[in-house]
Structures are given as C-alpha cells and as structure tokens.
Structure 1
Amino acid sequence: MQINRLFEIIYLLLNKKFMTANELAEHFEVSVRTIYRDIDTLSLAGIPIYALQGKGGGISLLEHYVLDKSVLSEREQNEILYALQSMTVTQVPEADKVLAKLSSLFNKSRTNWIEVDFSPWGSDDKGYSQFTQIKDAILSHRIIEFNYFGSSGEKTARRVEPMKLIFKTNAWYLQAFCQTRNELRMFKIVRMADVQKTEETFTPMIPEPLPGGGQLQETQKWIELCFNISADGAYRVYDEFEEKEITKNTDGSFTIMTTLPESDWLIRYILSFGSEAEVKSPQHIRDMLQLELSKIAMRYKI
C-alpha cells in the first residue's frame, strides 16, 4: 500500500501545491510520523519534496516540478500499472484512483488482465463496509471490536489487534491478536458481526506465518487421510487436491493421500462428496462417518 500512498501524495501536492503533514495524515488515516517517513522515502527517490517547519509551514514540491515518466522504462510503467490493478480486485478505492491517474500519465489504456469476485464482499454494501473497516484498521493500527460466532454458534464479544487479512479455501480470515483471549487467533470474517474500528491504536507485531503450511487454528490437529473418489467425482479432484496427492486408478477412480484438519468440518467435507467418496484410513474417521450417516438416516426415518 505504500507505493499507492506515495504516488497519491505526489498528485495531491501537484494539485494543491502545499499541504500540512496533519492534512496528509488525516487524508490517508495514518500517523503524522508515517507521513514524514513517506516524505523521506520520496526525497531519497529523487523527488524534490520538502517540508517547512513552524507556523505557516507544510509540505510541498519544488515549483514547476512535473512527474517525469521518462525515468521509468516501458516495462517498469507496465509493472506499476499491473500491480495497482491487482490491488483493485480487493476493492481498494485508492488503488483504482491512482491507477486511473497513472494510466493517463503514461498514456496507456487500462489492460483488464485480472478480475476476481470475492463474494460475499461485493454482494452488498454492508459486507463491503465491514471489509473496508477491517482493512483501514490494519493499516492505521487501530483496535477493532466485534461479536464473533464460534463453530458451536456461541456469540462472544471480541477486542482484537488486527494484523492481516487472509483468503484461503474460498473464505476470508482475519489474523489478529485477541485481547479478550490474550492470544494470537484466526477469525473467519463471515462469522464477525457489528465490526467497529476504535480510536485506540496499538504497536503492530509481525504477523506469524500460518502453521502447518496454512493451518488456521494453532490448536488444530492434522491427520493423514486416504480415500477414494469415483470417476463421477473427477470434476472436484484436481480443483481441491495437489497433483502429488492424487493417484488415478485403472477404473477411472482416484486415490487421494492428503493431510487435513481433524474436526467436525472434515466430516462435513467428506460427506459433501456424497456416495462418490470412501475413506480408507484412518479407521476412526470411518467410524465417525458411519455415526453421522446413521444420524442422518434416523432424521429421515430411513
């Protein structure tokens, strides 16, 4: 996001000639200290920007300065535009605005090389507003408060230091330090309600990589799973598993050897294949599936 803000600062100063650090900080919803770091970055990059201290002071560019596109190669111009366009798929309005300005500056038409639908974000204004609040809280280091619905349906009030948004397995998650539980946690965004960005700030920590190559809960147990999927289920095999985990059998079926989290989700996931999947091992997962199927049979009085 910093390159987005740096270009925006230049354009603001080109248009307004003169702005205070407080005005820029308020515009970008960052600290004054962050703005001064940005000014230092631009100065080191050769942009003739300067700050005047005291009453009537502020930040400005040298008079008659024009952003010279000739300092960037054709490839560099394209990389900047492509990078900004990849940001617009997450519906960050600032990125789209800067993209339009730079496209005009570079005399280039916008190449729509990427499009992603991150539903339910684009499904209604409420979802988009929540996404924006969380994004802004991460960038401005603001504590957020919300109600969270656990896997059992229990609702609890949470107060967290948001660190990073993560998109994995068709769902958005928030990695955050939960002050309520006093530990690092992962929150599924669709289970968050009444999100409020507070005025309280926090000192950000470096987000830790997800354990287990993508594990979303630190206490989650992972197991080796072997199951068969019939030829009729082939349409899901290469969508959901890596090639190294798949063995195609002579009858057209597939044997899958993979590692998955042991949880109620796993049982529901396997059942989503219907009669097209059969678990071979471990035995206790087969037993859990049989128990769940018997409950389903009783519900439908089979």
Structure 2
Amino acid sequence: MQVSRLLQMTYILLEKGTVTAPELAERFEVSVRTVYRDVEALSQAGIPVYTSQGKGGGISLTDRFVLNKSLLTDKEQDEILFALQSLSAVRLPDLGEAFSKLSSLFRKNSTSWIEVDFSPWGTGDKQKELYTLLKQAILEQRVISFTYLGAAGEHNSRKAVPVKLLFKDRAWYVEAYSFERGALRTFKITRMSNVQLLEGEGTGLLEFQQVRTASAGTSDEEIKVNESPRIRLVLNIEPAGAYRIVDEFKEEEILKLEDGSFQLISDMPSGEWLVQYLLSYGDILEVMEPESLRLEMKARTAKMAQKYSG
C-alpha cells in the first residue's frame, strides 16, 4: 500500500506544486508523521522532494523535475497497473484513482483484464468504511474498540490493536492484539460491530509491541477446534453436493460411486462445530461412521423435524 501511496503523492506534487503535510495526511487518511516518512522514502528513491517552512510552505518537488515514465519498461508499467487492478479485491476507494492516474501517465488504455471481489453479496458502503478504518488503525498502530459476537452467540466488548487484514476460507478477518487476552487474536470482520478508533489510547501499546512477533494470531474458535481430538469420518453425499466437496475436501479423500454419489473418508476435529458443519449439507449428506456421530445427527435432525411437526 505504501508504494501506491508514494506514486499518488508524487503525482499530486507534480500536479499541485506545493502541498502541506496535513493536507496529504487527510488525503491518504494517515498521520502527519507517516507523511514525513513517505517524503523521506521518496527522497531515498531519488525523487527531488523538499520541505519549506513559513507561509506558503509545504512539501514540493524541484521545478525542473518530471516523472520520467521511460524509467519503466512497457512490461513493468503493465505489471504495476495489473497489480492495482488485482488489489481492488479489497475494495479500497483510493486504488481506482491511483490506477486511473497511472494509466494516464503511462498513456495506456484501461484494460480490465481481471476482476476479483472477495466481499460477500450485498455488502455496501458500511463494510467499505470499516475496511478504511481498520487500514488506518493498522498503519498508525491505533487502538480500536468493538463489540464481538462469539461462537456461542454472546456479545463481548473488546479493545485491540489491528495488525493486518486476512482473507481465509471465503471470509475476511483482522489479526489484532487483544488487550483482554494479552495476545494476538483473529477476529472475523462480519462478527464485529460498533467499531471505533480510539483517541489517546496508549495504555497497553508497549505490551503489544513486545508480544506482536512472539504470539500467533489465533481466534478463540480456532483454538477450540485445533485442540479437539480428531475422529475418522465416513460420509455419503448425493451428487448435488459435488460442488461443495470439491471445494472443501482433498482429492484423495473423495471416492465417486457408481450411482454418481460420493463417499468421503476424512479425519476432522470433533465438537459442536463439526455437527453444525455437517448439518449445513442438509439432506444430501449421511454420516456412516462413527456410530456415535451418526446417532447424534439422527437426534439433531429429529429435533429439527419436531419443530415443523405442527
């Protein structure tokens, strides 16, 4: 993200001449200190950028400087543009503008060769705003507060310092230092609500710096799953479930039967999560082994049927 910001900053300085650090900080939603770090990075990269004090002062480029696009080959220019297109998967609003400006600078047509969107259907501006807020918290190492929906349906107030965004198993997560746990934890973004960026929250940040590289970011649910004993499953799944089992199981665990159905043999962690996962297949799945899990599924489905018996 810093490379994209540096390119945009250079373009803005070329276009406007002199810009103040607070203006750039507001534009990129970072701190003034981060802007000055970017200025230093540009200078180290050979861009003749300088700062001036007093009225009319700010950050500028030397008058005779021109961003020489010939420093990049056609292939390198294409790779930069393609990378920006791929990054649009996180739906950050500034990437489209950066892509447009660089396309113009390189004099290249806007060829939309790829489109990746990891966001769920129906998500809108609210989720985009959350990504922007989390990005700011990560870049500035700021504390956030939020309400988190736990696996058992309970709502808990949490404080944390976000470290990075993760996309795993078709969902977005944020890895963050949790003050309640005193360690890095992973939170599913769709379970977070009332997210706020706190002002003047320095308490615990030193502790965060000490443990951030020594602790793995693991969700409470993931800890429970990983610590659960594994059991050998034998499942029969009807042909209608083919699209799911290909996505969710290894090829060597899948056996296609003569009637077009599938038999799956897999080792999976036991627990409530496993029952809920198997129930998500509905009536196209039948547990063959172990017998204890087969009986549990029978009891659960009977209880479900009872709710609709009236």
Do both share a fold (TM > 0.5)?
A: yes
Over 3 Å counting, the alpha-carbon distance change for 1:232 and 1:122 in structure 2 is closer
The answer as to whether partners of 1:81 and 1:102 remain within 8 angstroms in 2 is yes
The answer as to whether partners of 2:185 and 2:217 remain within 8 angstroms in 1 is no
Structure 1 residue 61, shift from structure 2 partner: 1.3
Over 3 Å counting, the alpha-carbon distance change for 1:95 and 1:167 in structure 2 is same
For residues 281-300 of structure 1, the aligned pairs below 5 Å read 281-300=289-308
Instruction: Give the structure 1 partner of residue 156 of structure 2.
Output: 156
Q: Distance in 1 between matches of 2:8 and 2:82?
A: 17
Q: Distance in 2 between matches of 1:123 and 1:15?
A: 35
Identity %: 46
The answer as to whether partners of 1:159 and 1:178 remain within 8 angstroms in 2 is yes
Over 3 Å counting, the alpha-carbon distance change for 1:142 and 1:289 in structure 2 is same
Over 3 Å counting, the alpha-carbon distance change for 1:245 and 1:74 in structure 2 is farther
What is the TM-score when the length of structure 2 is the normalising length? 0.83
**More displaced, 157-166 or 274-283?**
274-283
The answer as to whether partners of 1:172 and 1:189 remain within 8 angstroms in 2 is yes
For residues 50-69 of structure 1, the aligned pairs below 5 Å read 50-52=50-52, 55=54, 58-69=58-69
AA of the residue aligned to 2:224: T
AA of the residue aligned to 2:111: T
AA of the residue aligned to 1:217: E
Are 1:85 and 2:85 an aligned pair?
A: yes
Instruction: Give the structure 2 partner of residue 35 of structure 1.
Output: 35
Over 3 Å counting, the alpha-carbon distance change for 1:260 and 1:196 in structure 2 is farther
Instruction: Give the structure 1 partner of residue 183 of structure 2.
Output: 183
Q: Distance in 1 between matches of 2:235 and 2:193?
A: 37
AA of the residue aligned to 1:240: E
Over 3 Å counting, the alpha-carbon distance change for 1:115 and 1:51 in structure 2 is same
Over 3 Å counting, the alpha-carbon distance change for 1:294 and 1:116 in structure 2 is same
Structure 1 residue 6, shift from structure 2 partner: 0.5
Cα deviation code 1:40-72 (max 9, x no counterpart): 3222322222334x5465432121211111110
Cα deviation code 1:17-48 (max 9, x no counterpart): 22344443343233344333322322232222
Where 1:111 maps in the other structure, the secondary structure is coil
Are 1:240 and 2:248 an aligned pair?
A: yes
For residues 162-241 of structure 1, the aligned pairs below 5 Å read 162-199=162-199, 200=201, 202=205, 205-206=212-213, 217-221=222-226, 223-224=230-231, 225-241=233-249
What is the TM-score when the length of structure 1 is the normalising length? 0.85
RMSD: 2.9
Q: Distance in 2 between matches of 1:111 and 1:208?
A: 43
Q: Distance in 2 between matches of 1:160 and 1:38?
A: 26
Q: Distance in 1 between matches of 2:223 and 2:167?
A: 17
Structure 1 residue 283, shift from structure 2 partner: 4.2
Structure 1 residue 259, shift from structure 2 partner: 4.8
The answer as to whether partners of 1:143 and 1:162 remain within 8 angstroms in 2 is yes
Over 3 Å counting, the alpha-carbon distance change for 1:244 and 1:110 in structure 2 is farther
| Gap runs ≥5 in structure 2 | none
2:260 to 244, 252, 259: 252
The answer as to whether partners of 1:185 and 1:217 remain within 8 angstroms in 2 is no
Where 2:114 maps in the other structure, the secondary structure is coil
Aligned residues: 299
